[in-house]
């Protein structure tokens, strides 16, 4: 039914089966004999659907998806064996019937709430439960060709949306007004509607339009800039502030296509920009170029981070780099995929080598307190011989 | 700083203090001597900010908000005593210093992930931890005058957005295209940008534009209609389907103002609508009127639900009411506030009387499989003598 309505492509059957096999291999290394997955994003990755249910992946046997709702949609979307479950309480019975009696069981302990965990614990007192979150996140960090295609389609939405900014940016309009127009452009191109970020309290908006001082407000989230938002209840994003001439308008936009998130930033100006902003922007582009000149599969994220800090420091911009004062963050890039906070993290502590197929957003940004911010964000695919850009290299600041 | 940028009103100091006292009263009843709150929505309710930190509310003493980020914003937004915390691991030390050594401690076990819980458990091995989620949710279900004002402002966004549909709805446009335009209208009116739903995997979009058959696709969520979405990775919301003449276009839109969510549905048509849709729509309006005629503070939600089912059944529409077949849901309304799935639930099992100040969305809807759906959703404030509408009573179907 979904196909008739022009929905995005399903994950190929072979791909889902190979993801399952890869997880089973990790389970074997960790001596886990059964995995129980419930988070919708992980379900999508391993089944192809986010319909509501419990995915059981045993060691060395075929997985079964126990579906609560909607069964009819689920069987259209996943190649896996499905079983229709009426009540959560029947799960032990169904597992026994299907020979899925694990002992060492892995669960997504980074996201499962205590109350749900306790209910599961009560149903399966014999289980020794440990976390399988890291294994899932590491697997998901290396993207297949199919995934890269979705990410590129997601990036195309970004390119198109940024190309339209000059048609809509006007002096005196509010940040939220431009936010709404650009969100609408993205949606009309088939943007999936929202972006996911893993974890409690992790909220992500489609777009941040930050002009002048709002870009320099310290964010509560672990990001270099977050904006003011229209209410302390949200505390991030575009605000009711009017956009003025001669101030940097930083637009951070997330594409969303078939589940896959991209995340890029560009700077626009009505009129002219003070020299120190222009200079900092060029340093951001230099950091991008310097990174492209050496980063590739096998490189340590920590080296990429350190090189970026080195350049910022050499240019006298160390204290503005990646936030100011106590709001400074300790990374310059983050993995992208079905969630916006995936592995790898391009940070000082990043000691696990980049692998081919990893995808990350790289975002050298400079914050000037009370004044504003400039910077760029570009998404990269890690290849054996270098970094492949998901979209085009950013131009100079766009003067409208 | 936020005020200069025209952000929404802060929660008054007296109101926050009275919320804290009310929670302390509930804690006393449950013999809990310390509450530790971390979810951003609960933090906003009890502090006035969603900045990142740990709120400690002891029995009979003043609470302290231990802030991780951003301290400067936090002290502008909350009247509570704040303490700047550098590392999570220092929490036991800080609590001792401030004389906050609880034993029976309440936490939001419905939303706190196991991994975070374990870290807290390790820091405070002496705590006997129990859930305080129900107490928080019950408190939050009764709205103050300040909250009702925010809810009415949220409802005004809905009214304005629905009034603009006739200017934009055109034959052959896709659902997501209209979705984008209307979202943009809402945002330009100061919509907060996203809506919150409590719990793992609970995702909510600003708007669902569902035309003809997409409104009849069974949703994975516990809602009467959810649409197709543009990808199985999202699985709900507006799709790429083109809007045709002579089919019901169901628009379910959520207002968002200063944290407060409203949630209403209207039906639009290009051309004419088949008789059975028209009839079902009038039955939905009849259910609204019948409910308004008797519901008020003191009434049981179960009685409201049963009365609605009775009317649907009398009109021969029982099997279409609130979903079809196995996708049918067992409620006809849900509480609204900072989250879209608050108390009360207007369901068969609703045995706790309505209280003055409760706010709920009431949504009699009829689903015709393979064809489409019609219905209305209107938000109500519970008063001593009846129900007060948050927005105007829905008109007949809007023919464009």
Q: How confident is the model at residue A399 (pLDDT cuts 50, 70, 90)?
A: confident
Dist CA A75 CA A78 (whole Å): 6
Put simply, whether A21 touches B (Cβ < 8 Å) is: no
Closest CA of chain A from B176, distance in Å? 6
Q: CB neighbours (10 Å) of residue A114?
A: 24
Dist CA B41 CA B46 (whole Å): 9
pLDDT value, residue B46? 98
Q: How confident is the model at residue A395 (pLDDT cuts 50, 70, 90)?
A: confident
Q: How confident is the model at residue A2 (pLDDT cuts 50, 70, 90)?
A: very low
pLDDT value, residue A6? 56
What mean pLDDT comes out for the span A321-346?
97
**Cβ of A70 and B214 within 8 Å?**
no
pLDDT value, residue A102? 85
pLDDT value, residue A1? 39
What mean pLDDT comes out for the span A295-305?
98
What mean pLDDT comes out for the span A224-233?
95
Put simply, whether B327 touches A (Cβ < 8 Å) is: yes
Is the confidence at residue A3, as pLDDT, over 60? no
What pTM value is reported for the model? 0.97
Q: How confident is the model at residue A354 (pLDDT cuts 50, 70, 90)?
A: very high
**Cβ of A231 and B258 within 8 Å?**
yes
**Cβ of A184 and B188 within 8 Å?**
no
Q: How confident is the model at residue A101 (pLDDT cuts 50, 70, 90)?
A: confident
Put simply, whether B178 touches A (Cβ < 8 Å) is: no
- Ordered by where they begin, the domains of chain A are 3-139 (3.40.350.10), 142-399 (3.90.230.10)
Q: What is the pLDDT of residues A172-211, one digit of tens each?
A: 999 999 999 999 999 999 999 999 999 999 999 999 999 9
Question: Closest residue of B to A121, CA-based?
Answer: B114
Percentage of chain A surpassing pLDDT 70?
98
pLDDT value, residue B144? 98
Put simply, whether B199 touches A (Cβ < 8 Å) is: yes
**Cβ of B181 and A183 within 8 Å?**
no
Mean pLDDT of chain A: 96
For chain B positions 38-77, those within 8 Å of chain A (CB to CB) are 38-40, 44, 48-52, 69-73, 77
Q: What is the pLDDT of residues A370-385, one digit of tens each?
A: 999 999 999 999 999 9
**Cβ of B52 and A221 within 8 Å?**
yes
Is the confidence at residue A48, as pLDDT, over 60? yes
| B203 vs A contacts (CB less than 8 Å) | 40, 194
Q: How confident is the model at residue A8 (pLDDT cuts 50, 70, 90)?
A: confident
**Cβ of A114 and B114 within 8 Å?**
yes
Put simply, whether A115 touches B (Cβ < 8 Å) is: yes
Question: Closest residue of A to B39, CA-based?
Answer: A201
Put simply, whether B208 touches A (Cβ < 8 Å) is: no
| A214 vs B contacts (CB less than 8 Å) | 5
pLDDT value, residue B3? 42
Question: Closest residue of A to B50, CA-based?
Answer: A233
Put simply, whether A160 touches B (Cβ < 8 Å) is: no
| A39 vs B contacts (CB less than 8 Å) | 200-201
pLDDT means over runs of 10, chain B (400 residues):
62 98 98 98 98 96 97 96 95 95 94 98 97 98 98 97 97 97 96 96 96 95 94 96 97 98 98 97 98 98 98 98 94 98 96 97 97 98 98 89
């Amino acid at each position: 039914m979904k196909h008739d309505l022009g929905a995005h492509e399903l994950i190929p059957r072979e791909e889902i089966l190979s993801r399952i096999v890869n997880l089973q291999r990790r389970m074997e290394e960790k001596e886990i004999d059964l995995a129980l997955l419930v988070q919708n994003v992980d379900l999508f990755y391993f089944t192809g659907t986010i319909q509501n249910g419990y995915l059981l992946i045993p060691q060395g046997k075929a997985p079964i998806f126990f579906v609560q709702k909607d069964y009819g949609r689920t069987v259209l979307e996943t190649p896996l064996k499905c079983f229709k479950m009426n009540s959560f309480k029947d799960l032990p019975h169904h597992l026994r019937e299907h020979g899925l009696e694990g002992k060492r069981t892995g669960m997504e302990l980074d996201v499962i709430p205590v109350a749900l965990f306790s209910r599961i614990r009560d149903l399966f007192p014999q289980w020794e439960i440990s976390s399988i979150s890291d294994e899932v996140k590491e697997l998901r960090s290396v993207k297949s060709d199919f995934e890269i295609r979705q990410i590129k389609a997601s990036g195309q939405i970004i390119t198109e949306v940024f190309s339209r900014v000059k048609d809509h940016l006007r002096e005196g309009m509010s940040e939220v007004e431009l936010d709404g127009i650009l969100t609408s452009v993205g949606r009309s191109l088939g943007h999936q509607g929202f972006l996911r970020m893993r974890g409690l309290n992790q909220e992500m908006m489609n777009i941040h339009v930050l002009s002048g001082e709002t870009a320099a407000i310290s964010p509560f989230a672990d990001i270099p800039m977050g904006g003011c938002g229209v209410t302390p209840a949200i505390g991030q994003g575009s605000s009711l502030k009017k956009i003025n001439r001669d101030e940097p308008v930083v637009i951070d936009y997330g594409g969303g296509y078939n589940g896959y998130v991209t995340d890029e930033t560009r700077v626009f100006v009505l009129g002219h920009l003070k020299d120190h902003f222009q200079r900092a922007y060029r340093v951001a582009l230099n950091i991008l170029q310097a990174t492209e000149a050496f980063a590739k599969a096998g490189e340590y994220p920590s080296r990429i981070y350190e090189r970026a800090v080195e350049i910022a420091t050499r240019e006298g911009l160390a204290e503005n780099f990646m936030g100011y004062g106590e709001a400074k963050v300790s990374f310059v890039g983050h993995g992208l995929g079905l969630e916006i906070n995936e592995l790898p993290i391009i940070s000082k502590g990043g000691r696990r080598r980049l692998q081919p197929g990893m995808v990350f957003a790289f975002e050298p940004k400079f914050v000037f307190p009370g004044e504003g911010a400039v910077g760029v964000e570009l998404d990269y695919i890690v290849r054996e011989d270098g970094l492949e850009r998901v979209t085009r290299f950013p131009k100079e600041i766009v003067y409208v």
